[in-house]
Amino acid sequence: MSDARVDNLTIAVAAGKGGTGKTLISCSLAQALVREQDATVQLLDCDVEEPNADILLRPEIAEREVVNILVPEVDLNRCTHCKRCARVCEVAAIAAVGQAVLTFYDLCSGCGACAVVCPTGAISEAPLRIGEVAHGAADGIDFHQGRIDVGHQRSGPVTAATRRAIADGAVTIIDAPPGTACPMQEAVDGSDFCILVTEPTPFGLANLREAVGTARRMDVPCGVVINRDRDGYAEMEQWLESEGIPVLMRVPERREIAEAYSRGETLLGASDEWLDELTDMYRQIAGLVSSEAAPSGKE
Ligand code: SF4
Ligand code: SF4
């Protein structure tokens, strides 16, 4: 543990699909590190459409930060129906139809382009709430949880607001959304390392291949945690070996783990043996990051 980066890593925990145990791993890792490390440990729940790290960590929330975006408001008295606003909008959130200009706030990202191109100043911008970030603490873990409001589809601003909590000098664990689409990429982007949680099944392998491809395209080094491991899955093992992807930890399919999870507890609630397993995994990651000389995820 001599590397200077050891106490300053940002580690995303992702999975090719939901239900693989991603949040179990991220919360267990944060709990293990806060017991074993002197450093500040943060848990950022960036699974903003379905955040649930609070169920396992039971944080005390000190503050709720509202996340707004600026959406266009159109003054039709000043509108000349030139349609420039509709043409510039990449997500079809504003439409100029005849004498009317329609806005669709559930699609709007708040980029402001329509207001910039409007030649008459007919478009002003007004704040619209799309979600919140809860800030608090959970047994020594610095806890932050983003949540998008029902009816909104733009996770980016809520994820960005959650990620603003990343602190220098802290170990930051990011619980990313499942899948490999934009919300996952927004959460993982700029991390020092990405743990990909998978299951030893053909479906798990298919999702894992996609997730590894995404992490590589983002230039984020990755390793794998195999959850609900039975006797291994030869095809997955062979693929991981051929791709040079390390297996960081295996979580067997065991009754006490399932029971702990159903009680709303992490791996540490199942057995103390996981404390060493999780801190060993962290050491492996720190070694891999050092050897890859990966860029810092701190902003
Ligand atoms: S702010 Fe951006 S996303 Fe929203 S309507 Fe205008 S151009 Fe489209
Ligand atoms: S760009 Fe401005 S003037 Fe042109 S249609 Fe849109 S709101 Fe009207």
> 42-51 burial, b if ≥16 CB within 10 A, otherwise e?
bbbbbbbbeb
Position 177 confidence tier, pLDDT thresholds 50, 70, 90: very high
Residue 89 near ligand 1, beta carbon < 6 Å: yes
Task: Check residue 1 and give its pLDDT.
Answer: 39
Residue nearest to atom 2 of ligand 1 (CA): 111
Dist. CA 28 → ligand 1 center (Å): 40
Work out the average pLDDT over 32-51: 92
Is 214 part of any domain?
Answer: yes
Work out the average pLDDT over 181-197: 95
210 plus 285 within the same structural domain: yes
Position 13 confidence tier, pLDDT thresholds 50, 70, 90: very high
Is 73 part of any domain?
Answer: yes
Q: Flag whether pLDDT at 299 surpasses 50.
A: no
One-letter amino acid identity for 255?
A: R
The ligand 2 atom at the shortest distance from the C-alpha of residue 114 is 1
Task: Check residue 289 and give its pLDDT.
Answer: 93
pLDDT in tens, 256-296: 999 998 899 999 999 989 999 999 999 999 999 988 764 44
Work out the average pLDDT over 198-222: 95
Task: Check residue 296 and give its pLDDT.
Answer: 43
Is 102 part of any domain?
Answer: yes
Position 63 confidence tier, pLDDT thresholds 50, 70, 90: very high
117 plus 180 within the same structural domain: no
Domain CATH for 89: 3.30.70.20
78 plus 221 within the same structural domain: no
Q: Do 135 and 165 meet the contact criterion of CB atoms below 8 Å apart?
A: yes
Q: Choose the final residue of a domain: 79, 105, 129.
A: 129
Q: CA 77 to CA 84: how far, in whole Å?
A: 16
**Which ligand has the minimum distance to the alpha carbon of residue 98?**
2
Task: Check residue 153 and give its pLDDT.
Answer: 79
**Mean per-residue pLDDT over the chain, rounded:** 92
Is 250 part of any domain?
Answer: yes
Position 5 confidence tier, pLDDT thresholds 50, 70, 90: low
Dist. CA 164 → ligand 1 center (Å): 23
Dist. CA 92 → ligand 2 center (Å): 14
Residues in contact with 91: Cβ distance below 8 Å, sequence separation at least 6, in sequence order = 107, 108, 109
Dist. CA 74 → ligand 2 center (Å): 8
Work out the average pLDDT over 4-14: 82
Dist. CA 87 → ligand 1 center (Å): 10
* Long-range contacts of 81-88, Cβ-Cβ distance < 8 Å, separation of 24 or more: 82/119, 84/114, 84/117, 84/118, 84/119, 85/114, 85/115, 85/117, 85/118, 85/123, 86/114, 88/113, 88/114, 88/116, 88/117
35 plus 83 within the same structural domain: no
pLDDT in tens, 113-166: 999 999 999 999 999 999 999 999 999 999 999 999 998 878 899 999 999 999
Q: Percent of the chain having pLDDT more than 90? A: 80
Distances in Å between the Cα of 226 and the Cα atoms of 49, 52, 108 are 24, 21, 38
Q: Do 81 and 127 meet the contact criterion of CB atoms below 8 Å apart?
A: no
Q: How many domains does the chain have?
A: 2
186 plus 259 within the same structural domain: yes
Is 269 part of any domain?
Answer: yes
Sign for the CA dihedral angle at 199, 27, 252, 286 comes to positive
Distances in Å between the Cα of 197 and the Cα atoms of 5, 104, 143, 200, 218 are 23, 36, 21, 10, 17
Is 72 part of any domain?
Answer: yes
Is 97 part of any domain?
Answer: yes
Task: Check residue 291 and give its pLDDT.
Answer: 85
Position 16 confidence tier, pLDDT thresholds 50, 70, 90: confident
Site to probe by mutation for ligand 2, drawn from 74, 79, 108 as the one with most ligand atoms within 8 Å of Cβ, is 79
Domain membership of residue 266 as a residue range:
4-39+169-292
187 plus 277 within the same structural domain: yes
Task: Check residue 115 and give its pLDDT.
Answer: 97
Q: Flag whether pLDDT at 101 surpasses 60.
A: yes
- φ and ψ of 286, to 5 deg: -60, -40
Q: Do 251 and 289 meet the contact criterion of CB atoms below 8 Å apart?
A: no
The two tokens of residue 293 are 């000389």
Work out the average pLDDT over 77-100: 95
Position 4 confidence tier, pLDDT thresholds 50, 70, 90: very low
Is 54 part of any domain?
Answer: no
192 plus 280 within the same structural domain: yes
Position 204 confidence tier, pLDDT thresholds 50, 70, 90: very high
Site to probe by mutation for ligand 1, drawn from 71, 74, 83, 89 as the one with most ligand atoms within 8 Å of Cβ, is 89
Task: Check residue 125 and give its pLDDT.
Answer: 94
The two tokens of residue 236 are 């997955």
Domain CATH for 280: 3.40.50.300
Site to probe by mutation for ligand 1, drawn from 87, 111, 130 as the one with most ligand atoms within 8 Å of Cβ, is 111
pTM of the complete model = 0.89
Q: CA 243 to CA 141: how far, in whole Å?
A: 34
220 plus 115 within the same structural domain: no
Task: Check residue 297 and give its pLDDT.
Answer: 43
> Which residue in this structure is represented by tokens 């709430």?
129
